[in-house]
Amino acid sequence: MTSQGFKPASLLAHTELSEADLAEPYYLVSEEQARMYYRNLVCLADRDGVGLEIGWRTALSDMGPHGMALVTERTVGDSLRKTWEIRDNYNLLLDWKYEVSGTLLIHRVWCSEPDEKLRIFLLERGLATLQAHSEELLGPQAKPLRVLLDYKTPANIDQYKDVFRCPLRFSQQQTEIHYPANLLDAPLETYDPQAADVLGALRTSIHEKLSSGGYIVHDVKMALRRTPGVFPSLDSVADGLAMSSRTLRRKLGQHNMRYQDLLDEERRRIAEDFLLNTTMTVQQIADQCGFSDAQNFSQAFRRWQGMSPTQFRQAHKSASD
C-alpha cells in the first residue's frame, strides 16, 4: 500500500500501531488492531480487488520462519498440516478448514465481519494467498478445479480469472476452493529434513509466544472504535472477546486499567479531533462521543481538559493563528 502512495500514518490510524512496531518481528498485533488496519486499507484503496492483489503478492517468506519451514517439508500434505496446526496465528479475522472428500481437497473459508466490503476483502486476500502459496510450492500444476464464492459476481471478475484460472461460481452458500486431492501427495523439490527440524523448532517457539495473549487493552480500545459514534457496554465487549465481564475486568486490572478509563480515553480522543479539525457543533460532537446531551458532554470534557469544549476549540484556534 505504501508503494502505491498511501501514507503509513493513514493506514495505521486508530490502531495503536506505528511503523516501528511493524518493523519488529516479535511485535504482537491483536485481532482488533488487524481489523482496524484492514478497514483503513479498504477505505483508502476504495477500489475492487485490492484483496486479490495483496493476497497474490504474498510469498511464503512473508510468513517468516513458518513460511520458510513449509518449503522444507516432504510433501504438500505435510506443509498443509503444519499450517493447520497454527492457523489461528496467521489467519486473523478468517476461519478456515480443509477436508478430503473423495477425489477433492476442499478448502472452506468464512468470515463473520459485518462490514461487507471488508468481509469480501478478507475473503479475497485469504483465497488469493492460498493460491499464491500453492503455486509457490508446486508451480502451475497447483491449479484449482473450481472456486465457489458466497457473494455476487463483482465488477472485477477478470482479476479472479487471472488469479485462479478455473471456473468461478458466485452467489454460493459457502466460499470454497477445490483442488485435486492427489496434490497432497506431491513431493516438494525443496525438501530438506535438517532445515525442516531447525525451522520447525523456531516456528514452535514463535507460536508459543504468539499464543500467550496480552492484548487485552488494545482489544478493548479497538472494540470501542469498531463502530464510529457507538460505544458498546463492558458486557458487549466481553462477549465479543469470548469472555465474561468479570474476566475482562480482571484482565484489565492486571494492567491497572478499568473499562471506564478506556471509554473516557476514546471519547476524549474523538472529542478533541472533532473540535480541532471540524466545524461540528458541541451537540453534534456530544452525539458522536456517546453522550445524551451537550451538557453532560461539556461536564465530562471539563473534567478531562480543565476547560469547556468551546474554550478548548478557541484556545487552539488562537494558538494556530
pLDDT tens track for 8-27? 999 999 888 888 888 876 67
Domain boundaries, the chain: 47-210, 264-321
Q: Is 203 strand, coil or helix?
A: helix
Report the percent of the chain where pLDDT is more than 70.
Answer: 94
Q: Which helix (H) or strand (E) holds 39?
A: helix 31-45
The kind and range of the H/E element at 244 are none
Whats the size of the chain, residue-wise? Answer: 321
User: Do β-strands 168-169 and 146-148 pair in parallel, antiparallel, or remain unpaired?
Assistant: parallel
Q: Does the domain at residues 264-321 carry the CATH identifier 1.10.10.60?
A: yes
pLDDT digits (tens, 9 = 90+) for 210-257: 555 557 888 888 888 888 788 899 999 888 877 888 888 888 887 888
At residue 321, the pLDDT reads 59
Proportion of the chain above pLDDT 90, given as a percent: 55
CA angle 241, 247, 250 (to 5 degrees): 120
| Structure letter (DSSP) for residue 27 | P
* Chain position carrying cell 469470548: 242
Q: 189-216: per-residue pLDDT in tens?
A: 999 988 888 887 777 776 666 555 557 8
Asked if 67 and 184 touch (Cβ cutoff 8 Å), the reply is no
CA dihedral angle for residue 122, residue 129, residue 175, residue 151, rounded to 10 degrees: 50
